[in-house]
Amino acid sequence: MDKNHLRDLLTCVKSGRLGIDSALETLQHLPYEDTGFAKIDHHRKIRVGHSEVIYCQGKTPSQVSEIFLRMSKGCDSILGTRADPEIFEATKKVLPETVFHEVPRILEYAKGKKKKKVGKVVVATGGTSDIPVAEEAAIILEAFGSKVERLYDVGVAGIHRLFSNVKVFKKANAIVAVAGMEGALPSVIAGIVNIPVIAVPTSIGYGSAFGGITALLSMLNSCASGVSVVNIDNGFGAACQADMINKLAVGRS
Amino acid sequence: MDKNHLRDLLTCVKSGRLGIDSALETLQHLPYEDTGFAKIDHHRKIRVGHSEVIYCQGKTPSQVSEIFLRMSKGCDSILGTRADPEIFEATKKVLPETVFHEVPRILEYAKGKKKKKVGKVVVATGGTSDIPVAEEAAIILEAFGSKVERLYDVGVAGIHRLFSNVKVFKKANAIVAVAGMEGALPSVIAGIVNIPVIAVPTSIGYGSAFGGITALLSMLNSCASGVSVVNIDNGFGAACQADMINKLAVGRS
Amino acid sequence: MDKNHLRDLLTCVKSGRLGIDSALETLQHLPYEDTGFAKIDHHRKIRVGHSEVIYCQGKTPSQVSEIFLRMSKGCDSILGTRADPEIFEATKKVLPETVFHEVPRILEYAKGKKKKKVGKVVVATGGTSDIPVAEEAAIILEAFGSKVERLYDVGVAGIHRLFSNVKVFKKANAIVAVAGMEGALPSVIAGIVNIPVIAVPTSIGYGSAFGGITALLSMLNSCASGVSVVNIDNGFGAACQADMINKLAVGRS
Amino acid sequence: MDKNHLRDLLTCVKSGRLGIDSALETLQHLPYEDTGFAKIDHHRKIRVGHSEVIYCQGKTPSQVSEIFLRMSKGCDSILGTRADPEIFEATKKVLPETVFHEVPRILEYAKGKKKKKVGKVVVATGGTSDIPVAEEAAIILEAFGSKVERLYDVGVAGIHRLFSNVKVFKKANAIVAVAGMEGALPSVIAGIVNIPVIAVPTSIGYGSAFGGITALLSMLNSCASGVSVVNIDNGFGAACQADMINKLAVGRS
Amino acid sequence: MDKNHLRDLLTCVKSGRLGIDSALETLQHLPYEDTGFAKIDHHRKIRVGHSEVIYCQGKTPSQVSEIFLRMSKGCDSILGTRADPEIFEATKKVLPETVFHEVPRILEYAKGKKKKKVGKVVVATGGTSDIPVAEEAAIILEAFGSKVERLYDVGVAGIHRLFSNVKVFKKANAIVAVAGMEGALPSVIAGIVNIPVIAVPTSIGYGSAFGGITALLSMLNSCASGVSVVNIDNGFGAACQADMINKLAVGRS
Amino acid sequence: MDKNHLRDLLTCVKSGRLGIDSALETLQHLPYEDTGFAKIDHHRKIRVGHSEVIYCQGKTPSQVSEIFLRMSKGCDSILGTRADPEIFEATKKVLPETVFHEVPRILEYAKGKKKKKVGKVVVATGGTSDIPVAEEAAIILEAFGSKVERLYDVGVAGIHRLFSNVKVFKKANAIVAVAGMEGALPSVIAGIVNIPVIAVPTSIGYGSAFGGITALLSMLNSCASGVSVVNIDNGFGAACQADMINKLAVGRS
Amino acid sequence: MDKNHLRDLLTCVKSGRLGIDSALETLQHLPYEDTGFAKIDHHRKIRVGHSEVIYCQGKTPSQVSEIFLRMSKGCDSILGTRADPEIFEATKKVLPETVFHEVPRILEYAKGKKKKKVGKVVVATGGTSDIPVAEEAAIILEAFGSKVERLYDVGVAGIHRLFSNVKVFKKANAIVAVAGMEGALPSVIAGIVNIPVIAVPTSIGYGSAFGGITALLSMLNSCASGVSVVNIDNGFGAACQADMINKLAVGRS
Amino acid sequence: MDKNHLRDLLTCVKSGRLGIDSALETLQHLPYEDTGFAKIDHHRKIRVGHSEVIYCQGKTPSQVSEIFLRMSKGCDSILGTRADPEIFEATKKVLPETVFHEVPRILEYAKGKKKKKVGKVVVATGGTSDIPVAEEAAIILEAFGSKVERLYDVGVAGIHRLFSNVKVFKKANAIVAVAGMEGALPSVIAGIVNIPVIAVPTSIGYGSAFGGITALLSMLNSCASGVSVVNIDNGFGAACQADMINKLAVGRS
């Protein structure tokens, strides 16, 4: 509820068009819909710029499909991360337009025509095994309206593959760097280009890779400046911030 | 060394103005100066947009002062983080213009007139004890040319203090959110505004705060989108990324 | 064995109605029944106010059903946490009145009429996925005779949903706040109301959520006062303490 | 700002006594005073029942003394935890009534006559070395108006000392159980009495005591019900919750 | 190879009955049999008092059965820990006398008549779920020839069950105390009796029980003296040491 | 309070020589003396075989000296571990017979003539730096009346030094094996001899030695049987158990 | 791209045989082939001495088989670690010469005649369960052309088995020492011989073996010199370094 | 004691020149000298190729000086790592030839003329702060007789500094790569050259650098092959292995 709505409300109270008790009620309750197990937040798009992305893990197929159905009334684009085929089936039944991106396990519902993609975000991975996490970032960035360029398998074991793509990195407004094992990729990229790097550690590796902890710690301790980090395997989180940065860069141009 | 320089070099080789061995040498050695204990990188400003910031911890006062002296020949602004009074004294002797910001322990050398500050970055803290880390971010942002607004002691224990400043947050291009203990500040901010939040965990707290690990983990697991995280107490790292985002938003003008 | 019983016993000894060896035996052995694999404690209800709740995990279906059967002779209400359908089947065979709460995986045996529920405990969750743990708390609280009000999916990502329920929180004698990921919910609640908050971290999340460790640490380091914490996913433990507090509050009114 | 104030404000708007812009301003800014480095919250007493306790660690003596001075205008009792003699000296200069409790390192300012202490909270320790943490809890409980009974050095190594005090435990509304090393005290107490136990792990111990982590983990995994846990060495946090419970039990009379 | 054999060997060399190269060979190779994947150590019984116990986990059924078969030639009693039904089947095929103890998953091969059991070792558990680990200790102790008394489900949640068995504990030469969760059992026992307590943490528990780490740490930090600890779930290790102590106490008779 | 005392008490009640209330009081309170900050346990010697050893760390010099003074009335031998010169000075003032063992930082008060030392315990170290911990074990063993043989600096880096002492190990009733770094000493000893080995990890080492955690973990995972472990640097704990074992072995001979 | 190629290229530019834009292109792009999901690096053999070994875990069967197929055009020997039967089937379809080593789960493709094996590397294990990791090292060493001698099950629990093989160790140029549990094997070997020991911790063990962390830490803290360590279960990594060392030792003869 | 000595000894026994008891004695006791607190190993040089290096930390100055004095009788070169000025003073008094390398804190005693240095080992650091650890490696390598080339401050933040030195790396027989923070240096080097890289993590960094753990984990998980790792700050250990490799490479020429 922004300042203008608040002013309108107060004006109504002043003019007597709105009773004090009604105003009280309004002031204390921001609008959301209650399904019993989830509070659906139709105003979120206004507040944070895009509709809520549903985190499907830990929710039953029927919970997810009901949330999608209700949200579909208020907005044109809904995404579900960490979904699975069973959740997809349940959701497709109630919303046949829903599609399932298998590699990153994303559920996507969109109506109306696709919006034009703007700017440029590079999504890079250290290895082939990091691709599912990178695709989570890429698909969400595209759904949010950011142009994406993918650079996969450019890790430090064969560092010339990284260097031969420097010019691609340099054209981006933001870089999502996805890597497991020792997670050196974001450091090396940030040592070369002067662009915000969002580092995503992945759970790829074994033994003392500790399911991504090593990559996470490595990225947090990057000796190159301009690197920030999100949770292990959190392609979604990286996409959110990269999209915000890309839109900031594009919006003023 | 960018593409144009490379083209020039090749043109010189073609025309015979540059011998093959000289070209070879140039191609293999990017310019830096070697002090024996440190390789000074005069071209870094060109590559990453601002001069190298010296991380003083673990370096002797004479090492720091010599690095500052040498760098002062190639650039107008040098910063030293995690300095101490002894390092300041040594550096002031060789570069009298150097000043010392005590709270964030930053050494700053600047010549010529200050550049105009642009855009807006909000630096917020959860408590009073987080201020030294926040000031590290704020001073560096200002030295890099970003406008800073400070909002200190607005943590979740008295959440109304945070809410009464929502309009300040909404005007920023990037938010640096600094908090120790349970580190909930960035989550709450990112739940309200649609702007990139760089979260900085601090080592404030005791017991199971584990010197900032709890805040770090909490921030990495934020259920609000648009949060990325830097190392514990790393105000510098947050400033670097916030500055990049701010500059992207104002169009580098 | 309380002081009055002890006094009676000594009186019997004095009067000669009880031999010294018998008294010795009694003094050294408090009453419990030994099934071979478990010592059933019929006096526990007297000591701790309600009958022992059986922790079913790690016990075989036949062990659980035998414990339930034996206990049913001495008390009117038995609960089994972390049960599964197989354990339920085995127990229903010997005690047909047993019911199974699927979401929180609780086995409940009750005979006689339900006791009146008193006071008020609010059970709140950060998200939809935290509901199974919250239900463990809620069902146990109700079985113990506390009135429960559920407030699910009111986490900090959409903090207005939390604020619109402040008046609900304010009427409680105790609040059980259940959250995974960064676990900020209890801090925010305790920053608003002046009521004991029992925080329950859940294993919801991924990567550096570390199966609930992050939420646990976050809750232990709450900067708001009045928060105490139980083990990860321990809805039962939170219910026990919330029930005690609720009964203390009601009992003196 | 409670509902009645809000109603008054709206009434003033309706009647024209308050302009819309003034009302807007008021609605967006809850009252607190800004010292630059700390937001002092004069309304906190109303919200959470007692004035804010200042966490002194990480604050300079002059910051603490200024916060105390300003707060002394709005409330009758101020406490500072984790203080030191230097902070005490600085504060005594501006508020001569301030006293310093050395063992628990608490600063206390109180004006007017002491309020009557009510109810009963037992504060128990496993060993002699745990006393400073226990005293932090005890002093704060007394300052908040709860009656305290201390039972120190009753740990499980000499378990008969614990058992000879069972009747003391049984009279409490809440028990604060403070222990280091293996932290078994709260489990044993909760196995005997049916009263909320707030467990406080201490950093006492060496080697794999890990500065209190072992005691903390042990307490979180108590097999006895009715135990909740606060941070390592957090006597203050335990006192806050124990005080709330005690006040609920005595009916806030 | 003991000193007497060495003396004989040297005597043979001196007398010329043994060539120098043969002696060299003997001096460098102690007797064991090589199956390719395992070195079977027929002399171990002489060195450590009982035959090698085979740790079956990580070995294939055919590897285990072959080791059993070969060892059966040199000794009368072979045990296999952490076996499974498949391993049992494979071994029974080659050594039909083999039996399988299901609860502790122990394979036992014994020929000749059972040896008389001596002394007394108490094996106690905190709960019912700890029994498999306790049985691993108990079965091995019995196979080694120690008398065992089992006291199961006597944990601190119902501490009177423990106290009513004090006289049982007092008759033992050694006590194996098995507990999960907060692992307080060994501390409480060692606080009462003056007998070596071998503590075995179990992986029973959930959340911050961390698969037995909490119990392990708790036991290592026991404030009662006379407690030593073995690995999580290591009933075998505890049995080995308890057997040695028991045999020392009964004078190896 | 043992069974005979209990029988006497009951007999007195029966005969009327003891009133019921007095008996009640006695039954509920085992004898200890309360100094306010410590409960002194004069009966402990009867229960656990030797007087309580005072853990001095975390106690003030005056607390330690007062505990020593009071205990000196009831027993002939008192020990204080982790003492320092200041504590020694304070205690010597009240009990001039007190001596201070500097290397292991042990305070020892003994009156009457020394008791004869019996049996044999070997105390071995991996390196020279482990000696202070080993001496804590050795001095306490001697004070308890066990004969000690020291074997220092026999670690696996020069494994021939260990092997040349095998015959010394073989004569012991118990072995205390003290080692830091990778902590391999107890494994190697237990692989050679068939005697209980109490392993003591030390905090010697650096980096990933983690203050003794590596040695602790290594010892807990010994592939040789007959090893149990105490806390890091806990020479005292090892001495207690080794003394019990030694006395068991000697007592029946 | 080495210096000579670079010189040739510059010479071509000078002579006009190569246009500047073509040269630019070449200078910026080192040769690799892009399959979309993986960048295949045909020049790697030249740079690092043998062809890239494919880490199969996390890759789909069809990804692995396509990578093998493409690489088979450029080189004579390809290895795949951490493969499984499904991956083998997919690869055999496209490259029928491929074989599968089941125990170490290695895929091997080789054409042309096997190269002669040189030098000597000893691969030793502590136990039978460590063999799969040891075989990963051994098979790779042999594929790379190093002679291997296997010494399995020579751990410290039966240390005479180790000592009887000292002369085997002494003939090696490098030793790969593979062990789980307490991981003492490399320390003991390095205490005896003066040859580089590459230590490989395995995930064998349970409880506080922590999936190999204990062995890893133990090896990193070896008090014997000449030990370096690779990741848990990383037989491949140990083979790479041992092969390099072996070739250095042989190569100059 | 090598095979030839053993043969001689047996020959003497055969011929009667050596009595059986004397031979027995010799066979069981390898030569070392016992100072009480340390066993000095004069034969170590023969066994491991160079004299024992004394780890000074945790030893008193007089212990170190006595060890140096005694060892100086048997060998020409003694080193002491982690020494300090006080230890140096004590040692210089008894052995005036001793020198102290301040940066790496190494004590060096050498008599006779220096031996010729052979081969080539490169010692590289990521930053200036890593130099003390690198110097520990370099000085020890030189004392052992390996030629060293230092390449300091070539970390990935300015990766062109690393690439301009590729030809230096390529001439080495072994590379010691020293780095703190995210520890990416060894990965990048091993991705470029085909030479054994010994990685040394340093404790340089802050926050989640965790005193070198992050660098250690990162190095253990290197995606480049040919990297092995030693303990944090263990320049000595890296030098030992690098020296062995260098000597193997040189020794056969």
Q: Quick check: H166 contacting E, CB < 8 Å?
A: no
End-to-end alpha carbon distance in chain H: 28
Q: What is the pLDDT of residue D10?
A: 72
Predicted ipTM > 0.90: no
Query: In this model, does residue D65 exceed pLDDT 60?
Result: yes
Burial of B47 from C-beta contacts in 10 A (0-12 / 13-18 / 19+)? middle
Q: Quick check: B26 contacting A, CB < 8 Å?
A: no
Q: How far E138 CA lies from chain C's nearest CA (Å)? A: 14
Query: In this model, does residue D111 exceed pLDDT 70?
Result: yes
Q: Going edge to edge, which strands form the sheet with G77-81?
A: G53-55, G77-81, G106-110, G99-101
Q: What is the pLDDT of residue H157?
A: 76
Cα A146 to Cα F159: distance, rounded to the nearest angstrom: 65
Q: Quick check: B45 contacting H, CB < 8 Å?
A: no
Q: What percent of chain B has pLDDT over 70?
A: 83
Q: Quick check: B223 contacting G, CB < 8 Å?
A: no
Q: Quick check: H244 contacting G, CB < 8 Å?
A: yes
pLDDT tens-digit map of A86-144: 999 999 999 999 999 999 999 999 887 777 899 999 999 999 999 999 999 999 999 99
User: Which segments of chain A are extended strands (E)?
Assistant: 33-34, 39-40, 53-55, 77-81, 99-101, 106-110, 118-125, 146-151, 174-179, 197-201, 227-229
Work out the pLDDT band at G30, boundaries 50, 70, 90.
very low
The full length of chain F comes to: 253
Helix F185-192 crosses helix F213-220 at what angle (to 10 degrees)? 20
Q: What is the gyration radius of the CA atoms in chain G, in angstroms?
A: 21
Q: How far B148 CA lies from chain D's nearest CA (Å)? A: 15
Of the CA atoms within 13 Å of residue D99, those in its CB half-sphere come to: 8
Residues of chain E with CATH 3.40.50.1970: 118-250
pLDDT tens-digit map of C94-103: 999 999 999 9
Work out the pLDDT band at B195, boundaries 50, 70, 90.
very high
Which one of A218-227, E236-245, G32-41 scores highest in mean pLDDT?
E236-245
Q: What percent of chain G has pLDDT over 70?
A: 83
Across chain C, mean pLDDT equals 85
Q: Quick check: H10 contacting E, CB < 8 Å?
A: yes
Q: What is the pLDDT of residue D178?
A: 97
Cα E198 to Cα E123: distance, rounded to the nearest angstrom: 10
Work out the pLDDT band at D29, boundaries 50, 70, 90.
very low
pLDDT tens-digit map of B87-120: 999 999 999 999 999 999 999 998 877 778 999 9
Answer whether 0.90 is exceeded by the pTM. no
Neighbour subunits, H (≥3 Cβ pairs < 8 A): A, B, E, F, G
Q: What is the pLDDT of residue C192?
A: 86
Query: In this model, does residue D45 exceed pLDDT 60?
Result: no
Q: What is the pLDDT of residue B48?
A: 45
Of the CA atoms within 13 Å of residue G111, those in its CB half-sphere come to: 11
Beta-bridge partners for F148: F121
Q: What percent of chain G has pLDDT over 90?
A: 60
Query: In this model, does residue F166 exceed pLDDT 90?
Result: no
Four-point Cα dihedral D207, D211, D213, D218, nearest 10: 70
Cα H113 to Cα A81: distance, rounded to the nearest angstrom: 71
Closest partner residue to B161 among D32, D58, D212, by Cβ?
Answer: D32
Residues F120-126 have a mean pLDDT of 96
Cα G91 to Cα G103: distance, rounded to the nearest angstrom: 18
Across chain D, mean pLDDT equals 85
Which one of B145-159, C43-57, F34-48 scores highest in mean pLDDT?
B145-159
Three-class SS string for A55-103? ECCCCCHHHHHHHHHHHHHHCCEEEEECCCHHHHHHHHHHCCCCEEECC
Cα A57 to Cα A52: distance, rounded to the nearest angstrom: 15
Chain D residue with Cα closest to A6 = D24
Work out the pLDDT band at B252, boundaries 50, 70, 90.
low
The full length of chain H comes to: 253
Q: How far A220 CA lies from chain H's nearest CA (Å)? A: 7
Query: In this model, does residue B2 exceed pLDDT 60?
Result: no
Number of H helices and E strands in chain A, helices first, is 11, 11
Chains H and D are in contact, defined as 3 or more C-beta pairs closer than 8 angstroms = no
Cα H155 to Cα B39: distance, rounded to the nearest angstrom: 10
CATH code linked to domain A118-250: 3.40.50.1970
* Most G-contacting residue of A160, A166, A210, A218 (CB-CB within 10 A), to test interface: A160
Q: What is the pLDDT of residue F44?
A: 47
Task: Give the angle F71-F77-F82 at the CA atoms, nearest 5°.
Answer: 85
Closest partner residue to D194 among C49, C238, C253, by Cβ?
Answer: C49
Among G35, C206, G34, residue whose Cα is nearest residue A235: C206
* Residue G152 DSSP code: -
Cα C165 to Cα C151: distance, rounded to the nearest angstrom: 8
B–D interface: beta-carbon pairs under 8 A: 61
Closest partner residue to F229 among E226, E229, E248, by Cβ?
Answer: E229
* Most C-contacting residue of E103, E151, E153, E185 (CB-CB within 10 A), to test interface: E153
Work out the pLDDT band at G157, boundaries 50, 70, 90.
confident
Residues B67-75 have a mean pLDDT of 83
Chains F and D are in contact, defined as 3 or more C-beta pairs closer than 8 angstroms = yes
Work out the pLDDT band at G96, boundaries 50, 70, 90.
very high
Q: Quick check: C204 contacting A, CB < 8 Å?
A: yes
Query: In this model, does residue C93 exceed pLDDT 70?
Result: yes
Q: Does D162 or G198 have the greater pLDDT score?
A: G198
Task: Give the angle B5-B7-B8 at the CA atoms, nearest 5°.
Answer: 65
Which residues from chain A sit within 8 angstroms of residue B194, using beta carbons?
47-49, 244
Q: E228-250 burial, b for 16+ CB within 10 Å, e for fewer?
A: bbbbbbbbbbbbbbbbbbbbbbb
pLDDT tens-digit map of H206-236: 999 999 999 999 999 998 888 999 999 999 9
Q: What is the pLDDT of residue E103?
A: 93
For residue E86, how many other CB atoms are within 10 A of its CB? 11
Interface of G with F in 99-158 (CB under 8 A): 126-127, 155-158
User: C-alpha distances in angstroms, B127 versus B203, D40, D233, F49?
Assistant: 12, 11, 20, 54
Q: What is the pLDDT of residue C32?
A: 52
Among F179, F161, F248, F191, residue whose Cα is nearest residue F219: F179
Work out the pLDDT band at C76, boundaries 50, 70, 90.
confident
Cα E98 to Cα E56: distance, rounded to the nearest angstrom: 14
What does the block give as tokens for E98? 């083999």
Cβ within 8 Å, pair E251-F252: yes
Q: What is the pLDDT of residue H17?
A: 77
What does the block give as tokens for A105? 């396990």
Q: Does G141 or C26 have the greater pLDDT score?
A: G141
Q: How far C59 CA lies from chain E's nearest CA (Å)? A: 6
Q: Does H251 or C24 have the greater pLDDT score?
A: H251
In terms of phi and psi (left: phi > 0; alpha: psi -120 to 50; beta: otherwise), the region of G82 is left
Task: Give the angle A238-A241-A246 at the CA atoms, nearest 5°.
Answer: 115
Cβ within 8 Å, pair C245-D240: no
User: Which segments of B14-145 are extended strands (E)?
Assistant: 33-34, 39-40, 53-55, 77-81, 99-101, 106-110, 118-125
Q: How far C223 CA lies from chain A's nearest CA (Å)? A: 23
Q: Quick check: D19 contacting E, CB < 8 Å?
A: no
Place of tokens 């006291």: E151
Q: Quick check: H85 contacting A, CB < 8 Å?
A: no
Q: Quick check: F198 contacting H, CB < 8 Å?
A: no
G–H interface: beta-carbon pairs under 8 A: 99
Query: In this model, does residue D3 exceed pLDDT 60?
Result: no
Q: How far F244 CA lies from chain C's nearest CA (Å)? A: 27
Q: How far A30 CA lies from chain D's nearest CA (Å)? A: 15
Q: Which helix (H) or strand (E) holds C134?
A: helix C131-144
Which residues from chain D sit within 8 angstroms of residue B167, using beta carbons?
28
Which residues from chain C sit within 8 angstroms of residue E160, using beta carbons?
30, 32
pLDDT in tens, chain E (253 residues): 344 556 666 777 777 777 776 666 555 443 456 666 666 654 444 444 455 788 998 899 999 999 999 888 877 789 999 999 999 999 999 999 999 999 999 999 988 777 789 999 999 999 999 999 999 999 999 999 999 999 999 988 777 778 888 889 999 999 999 999 999 999 999 988 889 999 999 999 999 999 999 999 999 999 888 899 999 999 999 999 999 999 999 985 4
Chain F residue with Cα closest to H59 = F129
Neighbour subunits, A (≥3 Cβ pairs < 8 A): B, C, D, G, H
Q: Are C189 and C177 in contact (CB under 8 A)?
A: yes
Q: Quick check: E182 contacting D, CB < 8 Å?
A: yes
Query: In this model, does residue F82 exceed pLDDT 80?
Result: yes
Cα D179 to Cα B175: distance, rounded to the nearest angstrom: 41
User: C-alpha distances in angstroms, H201 versus A215, H180, H220?
Assistant: 15, 6, 10
Closest partner residue to C156 among B188, B208, B215, by Cβ?
Answer: B188
Closest partner residue to D153 among F38, F82, F233, by Cβ?
Answer: F38
Q: Quick check: C248 contacting F, CB < 8 Å?
A: no
Alpha-carbon dihedral sign for residues E73, E79, E82, E83 = positive
Query: In this model, does residue G158 exceed pLDDT 90?
Result: no
Which one of E190-194, H76-80, H183-187 scores highest in mean pLDDT?
H183-187
Task: Give the angle E176-E179-E185 at the CA atoms, nearest 5°.
Answer: 75
Task: Give the angle E162-E163-E165 at the CA atoms, nearest 5°.
Answer: 75
Q: Quick check: A5 contacting D, CB < 8 Å?
A: no
Q: Are A164 and A175 in contact (CB under 8 A)?
A: no
pLDDT tens-digit map of C209-238: 999 999 999 999 998 888 999 999 999 999
Chains D and A are in contact, defined as 3 or more C-beta pairs closer than 8 angstroms = yes
Q: Are E226 and E240 in contact (CB under 8 A)?
A: no
Q: What is the gyration radius of the CA atoms in chain E, in angstroms?
A: 21
Instruction: Report the relative pairing of strands D197-201 and D174-179 from DSSP bridges.
Output: parallel
Among H66, H22, H77, H12, residue whose Cα is nearest residue H44: H77
Q: Does H2 or B146 have the greater pLDDT score?
A: B146
Residues C29-53 have a mean pLDDT of 55
Work out the pLDDT band at D223, boundaries 50, 70, 90.
confident
Q: C41-75 burial, b for 16+ CB within 10 Å, e for fewer?
A: bbebbebbbbbbbbbbbbbbbebbbbbbbbbbeeb
Cα B249 to Cα A251: distance, rounded to the nearest angstrom: 7
Of the CA atoms within 13 Å of residue C130, those in its CB half-sphere come to: 36
Chain B residue with Cα closest to A46 = B194
Which one of D69-83, E86-100, F150-164, G106-120 scores highest in mean pLDDT?
E86-100
C–D interface: beta-carbon pairs under 8 A: 94
Q: Which residues contact G249 (CB under 8 A, 6 or more apart)?
A: G119, G173, G174, H248, H249, H251, H252
Lowest mean pLDDT among B145-149, E80-84, E119-123, G223-227: G223-227
Which one of A8-22, A170-184, E46-60 scores highest in mean pLDDT?
A170-184
Work out the pLDDT band at A190, boundaries 50, 70, 90.
very high
Cα A19 to Cα E15: distance, rounded to the nearest angstrom: 121
Q: What is the pLDDT of residue B197?
A: 97
Q: Quick check: F28 contacting E, CB < 8 Å?
A: no
